Structure 1
Amino acid sequence: MANGFEAKLNEYAHLLVEVGLNLQPGQTPRLAVPVECAPLARLCVEVALDRGARDVVVEWTDDVVTRQRYLKADQEVFSQFPEYQKAKFDWLLERGAPALSITGGDPEALRGVDPARIQAWQRASAQPTRPYYDAMSANRFQWTIGACPTQAWAEKVFPDKRGQAAVDALWEAVFSACRVTGDGGAPARWKAHIEATARRAKRLNDYDFQSLHYTNALGTDLTITLPEGHIWMGGADATPAGVDFVANMPTEELFTAPRWDGVDGRVYAALPLALNGNLVRDFYLDFRGGKIVDVHAQEGEEVLKRSITMDEGSSYLGEVALVPYDSPIRNTGLLFYNTLFDENASCHLAFGSAYPNCVKGGEGMDEQAQKAAGLNQSLNHVDFMVGTRDLSIVGTTRQGEQVTVFQDGNFTF
């Protein structure tokens, strides 16, 4: 698929930099990318520099090296965040460096690794990098997440294929999900998609729901209270300077923040969760007064428990997202084992931090004010999928009117 592939890869690189990141002249973006994805990385660097970037900071990631470190490095390594790493994040933050992250690693790269080591590193790295990631979640600079198939990931998605055949098949799925055909028309298709998403977000905001009630045959029976002044968002975001960008490519979701203390009931996951290099399967979470009070998983329970206890806020929800069951990604029939794709194939929730811009004026609030407004505070943010073919979501407005938002897994409007 050489010729067609090259045209699509080139269009995809342009899409990530020009539409996703909407890179502005004079900016210095940060590009985090797996080593196996060097061809895409080189194209992104070229597009960025041609667009007027001052420079590009490239960070290579390697699942094999990461696994070896977790298995064999000194224990103290995972409880100390290097000063040079902190200086780098401070440097990026000072310059408002846009961030382009490329996912594509092995979903089970850390299978068998001691979860305590993973948690120790998460805790050690979270606080020094928090100013940077807080600024990112508040959209103070552009950021976007894309994907690049690697062999380990591709063979997980296509277990009947091996090697390049699996990678080729996954590339076609990625291109399709991102509206890339090789004809150069992806930006126009994304413009239409973003406009349609904005219209549906306006409809949700006009309802001004007080709560949402989720039920399905799996056993989900969950009530989520929404903060006063909550905002449904989706499609494009914007920085304070008015620079539009698309944080996730692909994206099909409309999302907002729940009240951190306003979640009650049980929710069952609809899809496996790729979490910290492991897979968590067939799990449910019980909530009371907003807090996760019980968790059970058929596989990966310890990894899940470690994540929801990383800090106090990790045991509360920070995001509510609506995605129709009949979304383009779900209709591929593929399980991607990658949150970027699977969350856009299913309604999902996230435990951990909320996005400040999901409440009116939230970006300008300090942490205490954000929490008072209902926004959860955490160093963690983990999406998990809850959408099913029979999912029902009924919203109750602040005037007491009940509105069926989802029926049989899809929007009613």
Structure 2
Amino acid sequence: MNIDESLLKKYAAVMVLYALNNGKGINKGDTVFLVGQECSKDLYIAVAKEIYAAGGNVITNYLPDNIRTQSLTRYLLQHGNDEQLSFFANSYWQGIVDAIDHILFIIAEPDIHVFEGLPSSKISMMNSARAPYMAMREKKEQAGKLSWTLCLYGTQSMADEAGLTLEEYWEQIIEACYLREDDPVTKWKQVQREIETIKDKLDALAIEKLHVKGDDVDLEILIGKHRKWLSGGGKNIPSFEIFTSPDWRGTNGSIQFNQPLYYSGKRIAGVSLQFENGVVVASSATENEDALKEMIAQENADKVGEFSLTDKRHSRITRFMATTLFDENMGGAFGNTHIALGNAYKDTFAGDMSVVTDAQWAEMGYNSCPKVHTDIVSTANRIVTATVADGSEKIIYRNGMFVL
């Protein structure tokens, strides 16, 4: 499928002039680490040209397509030893992080089941080896010197997984990213202002804890001290969610998810979790349960790092897309609620995060898990009730919409 050149140019403009730099776009002289596979070549080149046009610099990470018959990663997983699977070029990746101002990832899966049939333990070992890179990025981001963003390039494999034609799949991308607007950059800034109005109202409530209730959920979440709510602010395109990183120690109850997730190339469906004092004490899945348990077995991946809500009035996403970037922002009849197991977003701290020590993060209940941050989504109808500082309760979300 050939994507219209004008749509690609608009897509690139959204990513470079809005998404990067936390919704402000890049500055002249900024350096962008651009990551994508060869199947996304037309968008990759459009983005690179937009960066250059804006006065920026590009460090390319242009990768061969990861497909079963030719995948170097699959070959390594099949034939590599533990030392090779755990290899991490520390100096190289530290140099990359030191040299860049922004990271732009183009998500494209030419073979969504590329790791099918491989042991989850080996995939986890390989993924865990990149934890130092994530820590390098996080440190620079906390200092306010690094931004990142993600966007999606539709492939036939992803469309097949979602049960859509490739044309239908791209139609969701085009609509969700406002690419038919005359000026999608201005449109995104308008939407961001609307979402931030809701976020500001949540912050003003000074919420202490949440109770999420529905046919498939009865879950309490402790928000914790010194927290604020965030919206995507350019970090994901599209992004309509409003989220925070709660105090993981106060998560109790059960929750089920009606949307699949993808972890290490495997589809995990029918997930159910039971929490006691912040820790997953029981987990199950109707599909690839071994992969779910392997993920949760990673250090601190059995704790919540994020809680999020999406208002259906903003999101134009109406179909399952088989990728977290879109599925965690789904609108539809009831919006969506989701949590992420694993690493917390420290920029939800209502203060200067650059001066907070690791011990202080732990004292506040921010989960530390550089190896995992996995969103698990449900589009079922939920009512979310907040308990505020004076002990009173207020419903903040029902029927897929904020009620503030």
TM-score normalised by length of structure 1: 0.89
Q: How far did 1:270 drift?
A: 2.4
Q: Which residue of 1 aligns with 2:230?
A: 233
Residues in 2 aligned to 1:395 and 1:66: alpha-carbon distance in whole angstroms: 48
Q: How far did 1:89 drift?
A: 1.8
Q: Which residue of 2 aligns with 1:383?
A: 375
Stretches of structure 1 that go unaligned for 5 or more consecutive residues are 237-245
Q: How far did 1:229 drift?
A: 1.7
Does residue 1:306 correspond to 2:297, yes or no?
no
Residues in 2 aligned to 1:316 and 1:310: alpha-carbon distance in whole angstroms: 10
Does residue 1:107 correspond to 2:112, yes or no?
yes
Q: Which residue of 2 aligns with 1:239?
A: none
Q: How far did 1:139 drift?
A: 5.1
Residues in 2 aligned to 1:384 and 1:135: alpha-carbon distance in whole angstroms: 27
Q: How far did 1:371 drift?
A: 1.2
Of stretches 122-131 and 271-280 in structure 1, the one that deviates more from structure 2 is 122-131
Does residue 1:223 correspond to 2:220, yes or no?
yes
Q: Which residue of 2 aligns with 1:173?
A: 172
**How do 1:264-279 and structure 2 match up within 5 A?**
264-279=252-267
For residues 348-373 of structure 1, the C-alpha deviation after alignment (integer angstroms, 9 at most, x for no partner) is 11011111111222342121111112
Q: Which secondary structure does the structure 2 equivalent of 1:298 belong to?
A: coil
Alignment match of 1:87 (pick from 85, 91, 114): 91
Q: 1:118 to 1:136 in 2, by over 3 A?
A: farther
The 8 Å contact of residues 279 and 300 in structure 1, kept in 2 or not, is answered as yes
The 8 Å contact of residues 81 and 128 in structure 1, kept in 2 or not, is answered as no
Does residue 1:38 correspond to 2:25, yes or no?
no
Alignment match of 1:123 (pick from 122, 128, 141): 128
**How do 1:4-403 and structure 2 match up within 5 A?**
5-21=4-20, 22-60=25-63, 62-64=65-67, 65-66=71-72, 68-76=74-82, 78-83=84-89, 86-105=90-109, 106-136=111-141, 140-159=145-164, 161=165, 166=166, 168-181=167-180, 183-218=181-216, 220-236=217-233, 246-311=234-299, 313-325=300-312, 327-330=314-317, 332=318, 334-345=319-330, 346-361=336-351, 362-379=353-370, 380-388=372-380, 390-403=381-394
Residues in 2 aligned to 1:363 and 1:300: alpha-carbon distance in whole angstroms: 39
Q: Percent identity?
A: 23
Q: 1:152 to 1:399 in 2, by over 3 A?
A: same
Residues in 2 aligned to 1:308 and 1:78: alpha-carbon distance in whole angstroms: 23
Q: How far did 1:235 drift?
A: 4.0
Q: 1:382 to 1:288 in 2, by over 3 A?
A: same
Q: 1:363 to 1:262 in 2, by over 3 A?
A: farther
Q: Which secondary structure does the structure 1 equivalent of 2:272 belong to?
A: strand
Q: 1:409 to 1:298 in 2, by over 3 A?
A: same
* Structure 2 residue identity aligned to 1:320: F
Of stretches 90-99 and 70-79 in structure 1, the one that deviates more from structure 2 is 70-79
Q: How far did 1:178 drift?
A: 0.6
CA RMSD of aligned residues (A): 2.0
Residues in 1 aligned to 2:139 and 2:168: alpha-carbon distance in whole angstroms: 36
For residues 56-84 of structure 1, the C-alpha deviation after alignment (integer angstroms, 9 at most, x for no partner) is 3233253221553255332235543242x
Residues in 1 aligned to 2:83 and 2:171: alpha-carbon distance in whole angstroms: 39
Report the count of equivalent residues. Answer: 389
TM-score normalised by length of structure 2: 0.91
Q: How far did 1:409 drift?
A: 3.1
Residues in 2 aligned to 1:299 and 1:258: alpha-carbon distance in whole angstroms: 28
Q: How far did 1:326 drift?
A: 5.4
* Structure 2 residue identity aligned to 1:52: G
Residues in 2 aligned to 1:134 and 1:306: alpha-carbon distance in whole angstroms: 27
Q: Which secondary structure does the structure 2 equivalent of 1:261 belong to?
A: helix
The 8 Å contact of residues 198 and 235 in structure 1, kept in 2 or not, is answered as no
Residues in 2 aligned to 1:383 and 1:116: alpha-carbon distance in whole angstroms: 20
Q: 1:364 to 1:270 in 2, by over 3 A?
A: farther
Q: Which residue of 2 aligns with 1:411?
A: 402
Q: How far did 1:97 drift?
A: 3.0
* Structure 2 residue identity aligned to 1:32: V
Residues in 1 aligned to 2:377 and 2:84: alpha-carbon distance in whole angstroms: 30
Q: How far did 1:51 drift?
A: 1.2
* Structure 1 residue identity aligned to 2:305: G
* Structure 2 residue identity aligned to 1:155: D
